Amino acid sequence: MGIEYLKNEGLFRLTAQDTEYVIGIADGVYVGHVYYGRKIDDSRCGYLMRTDEKPFVPSNNIKDKGSFADCFPWEYSTWGVGDYRESCLRVRSADGYRGCELHYEGHRILDGKPRLPGLPATFEAGGKEGKAATLELDCRDHVLGLKVILRYSVFADSPAVVRSVELINEGQQPLYLEKVLTACMDMDGEDVDLLTLGGSWARERHMVRRPLCFGKQMVSSCRGESGHQDHPFLAVMGRDAGQDRGDVYAMHFVYSGNFVAEAELSQFGSVRMLMGINPEGFEWVLGQGESFTAPEVVCVYSDQGLGKMTRIFHDLYRGHLIRSSYLHKKRPILINNWEATYFDFDSRRLLEIAREAAERGIEMLVLDDGWFGQRNEPAGSLGDWKVNEKKIPEKLPCLVEEVKKLGIEFGIWFEPEMVSPDSDLYREHPDWAMHIPGREPVQSRAQYVLDLSRQEVVDYVWQSVSEILKSAPISYVKWDMNRQMTDVGGCCLGREHQGELFHRYILGVYELQERLHREFPDLLLENCASGGARFDPGMLYYSPQIWCSDDMDAVERLAIQEGTALLYPLGAMGAHVSACPNHIVGRITPFETRGHVAMAGTFGYELDITRLSEDEKNMIQEQVEMYHRFQPLVREGDYYRIASWSENHRYDCWQVVSKEKDEALVTYVQVLAEPNQRSRKIYLKGLAPEAEYRLEEEDEECRKEEFSMLDSDEKVTLPSMDGKIYKGALLMYGGLLVPRMKGDFVSVMYHFTRVG
């Protein structure tokens, strides 16, 4: 890991493990992108900017400076001075003129990595492996009096490059920032695909791959959250790239609000990737001497397909983004009462669930919506964070103590960012809700959005939440946000500053969660937003796990968790075993399969345990034991995607391998059964080729499987493979045979341990 300035060549080289990122200064002032990819270790690469070709640099061809701007590979593009591709920065002067041209002035190479004020960001970790270095490039527009600092950081233990930008008004008049993206990267590549994650509520983060055609293709959110529909991620990859081969260039935004992620194929066959705050509805007034810091973008290059990209993101986020004390600790197995009771509960009912859960090895009861105010249905009391004593007459501290006497912990749900029109808070402070004067506010889920750009509102929310947390020994909080933003108006911001509200709101959310992290350091926080609408790296900075989706159907979760695990460590994915028929899609799946799929995340239950059969209750005990056995591997290991049900429409398969390559867990889900088929061959990944691995006790479902032979009605049972030893190379290159299982939605897990 290192950053080097090659003065004679006008180059900056950032090396991180096996990758290299090169920036060039063309014509003495223009900051250009030279190279990003495998390490080349050659200072003579500046020619890749093509500045010796027509239209040449402006000092050699001032009459065609516009053509230069429109084809030069900019590191940070600006609007209005000749580059007609999508830009990063658009500024309006106090006189109403738009146009910005940045010239390089100087640089600094720093040990470590500066924090971003008020924003989540990657950080330098302890120890030699966690060291970082940062390059700061100072650029200036002399007409505007605008200074722009481009920051690039690299880590000793990661090949990722992390980027941010800071703007400082050093002029005499205010500037109006109409668009501030964080990162731009230009490269060659006509024959490439674009990969994004899309979906909707209950089907978040499905992988979407399509050819990148001429013009601009983007995903975005202007909903006030990163969103169910799109995700702040994009990757440009070779047309032939797959899980284990090919070049992949990826960007991921460490932010929880409005975003845009865009790829553009230009007239000259170059590709531009951009990412940052969505300019829709955004304008920031930058007063004299003031600064604005844009959120961080993580850039990752992989020369071994999506699989390597995934493991780079996982390791970076585990080592340099998640701060929780639970990062390397076993998470408690929880049961949430929501789908068991909805709003219909009292203390007696909760204790009945807790008692049964404790007997089966579950470690925490989480009290969901309906415990406060007069909240007996979805249309009231949000904002009135006082315990409903009709439901909990002995009050919350006594209930928590009764639960803890059973030997399990207690968690609680909040939705602190919203307010119900039917609430004491709204009746007392209607102006605290976002609204546009003269318009009837739009309700969604019978809620309005609290204006967290106002400090008094932030302070009220903090007081409400912290008083509850201080009143009883609460170990876990589920922080929910159940609606998107409309009527985006802040009555205290003033006319010129209304375009700042979206971003100031997110800064308010971050302030609240930073307070939680600081004042309740032992609290396990799980973020949620109507399921997975705010599953993003910004939230991961404050909570080690995020609720993946409200859809807990095991089959639906396959695509959701595949897309989520593309970027996020498995230990970050909130995943539960739900009731059957599933409350969202009505599908009936085996209890074993629901457990196997949920085992790929934090693991818990969302059902009425008191109404399960004795067999199902016994299965819970088995799954609890399995979780304790495998959770460290799932939380810390390397993730490999073996097969995708979204692609083959038959089966799904993934694998986790320990860092030491001495243990592996393979999960196989047969989504749809097929007639007249033999065993299926799957190829394991990530093992030590020369090592030997023992297949530990085989999954019961596979061990007892009966098969009908082709020419006979005779049924045979395959012998168990327990204890069989395989060489790593055989499992990876020869394959493992998975016997055909009867029925749809059935699954099996294979656990291998290294011999010797």
Tell whether 556 and 607 lie within a shared domain.
yes
Rounded Cα–Cα distance for residues 456 and 349 (Å): 37
Confidence at residue 709, expressed as pLDDT on a 0 to 100 scale:
37
Q: Which of 149, 255, 267 is nearest to 213 (CA)?
A: 267
Q: Which residues are catalytic?
A: 480, 550
Task: Supply the pLDDT for residue 190.
Answer: 81
The CATH number assigned to the domain holding 744 equals 2.60.40.1180
Supply 629's token pair.
């056995």
**Which of 157, 159, 193, 191 is CA-nearest to residue 38?**
159
- Do residues 356 and 418 share a domain? yes
CB 256 within 8 A of CB 225: yes
Three-state DSSP at 185 gives strand
Helix (H) or strand (E) holding 192: strand 192-200
- Residue 699: the pLDDT is 53
* Structural domain for 665, as ranges: 642-754
Residue 326 lies in a domain: no
Residue 1's pLDDT is what? 85
What's the rounded Cα separation, in Å, for the pair 567 and 310? Answer: 5
pLDDT on residue 721 = 67
Confirm whether 325 is domain-assigned: no
Residues of the chain with pLDDT under 70: 698-721
Question: Which pLDDT score is estimated for 720?
Answer: 58
pTM over 0.85: yes
Residues 258 and 381 grouped into a single domain = no
pLDDT value at residue 276: 98
Residue 170: CB partners within 8 Å, gap ≥ 6? 145, 146, 147, 289
- Do 367 and 502 belong together in one domain? yes
Asked if residue 458 belongs to a domain, the reply is yes
553's CB contacts (< 8 A; 6+ apart) are: 578, 582, 584, 585, 587, 589
Q: Within this chain, do residues 174 and 278 fall inside the same structural domain, yes or no?
A: yes
Residue 329 domain-assigned (yes or no): no
10 Å Cβ neighbour count for 598? 26
101 three-state secondary structure: coil
Q: Is residue 327 one of the residues assigned to a domain?
A: no
Q: Is 451 contained in some domain?
A: yes
Q: Are residues 353 and 308 in the same domain?
A: no
DSSP calls for 612-679: S-HHHHHHHHHHHHHHHHHHHHHHHSEEEEEE-HHHHSSEEEEEEE-TTSSEEEEEEEE-S--SS---
- The CATH code of the domain that includes 438 is 3.20.20.70
Q: Where are the alpha helices (DSSP H) in 382-522?
A: 395-405, 424-428, 455-471, 501-519
Question: 670 with 735, same domain?
Answer: yes
**Does residue 117 contact residue 293 with C-beta atoms inside 8 Å?**
yes
* Within-domain flag for 532: yes
- Same domain, residue pair 258 and 401: no
Picking from 342, 209, 189, the residue whose alpha carbon sits closest to that of residue 266 is 189
Provide the 8-state DSSP code for 732.
I
Q: Which of 636, 658, 677 is the last residue of a domain?
A: 636
| 365 and 348 housed in the same domain | yes
- Is the distance from CB of 662 to CB of 693 less than 8 angstroms? no
* Per-residue model confidence (pLDDT) at position 723: 78
Find the CATH number of the domain harbouring 281.
Answer: 2.70.98.60
Domain boundary among 252, 285, 320: 320
Tell whether 658 and 629 lie within a shared domain: no
Last residue of a domain, one of 610, 636, 662: 636
Rounded alpha-carbon distances, angstroms, from residue 410 to 334, 520, 617: 9, 15, 21
In a shared domain, residues 304 and 365: no
Cis bond before residue 437 (omega within 30° of 0): no
Say how many domains are in the chain.
3
Domain shared by 663 and 748, yes or no: yes
Q: Is residue 724 part of a domain?
A: yes
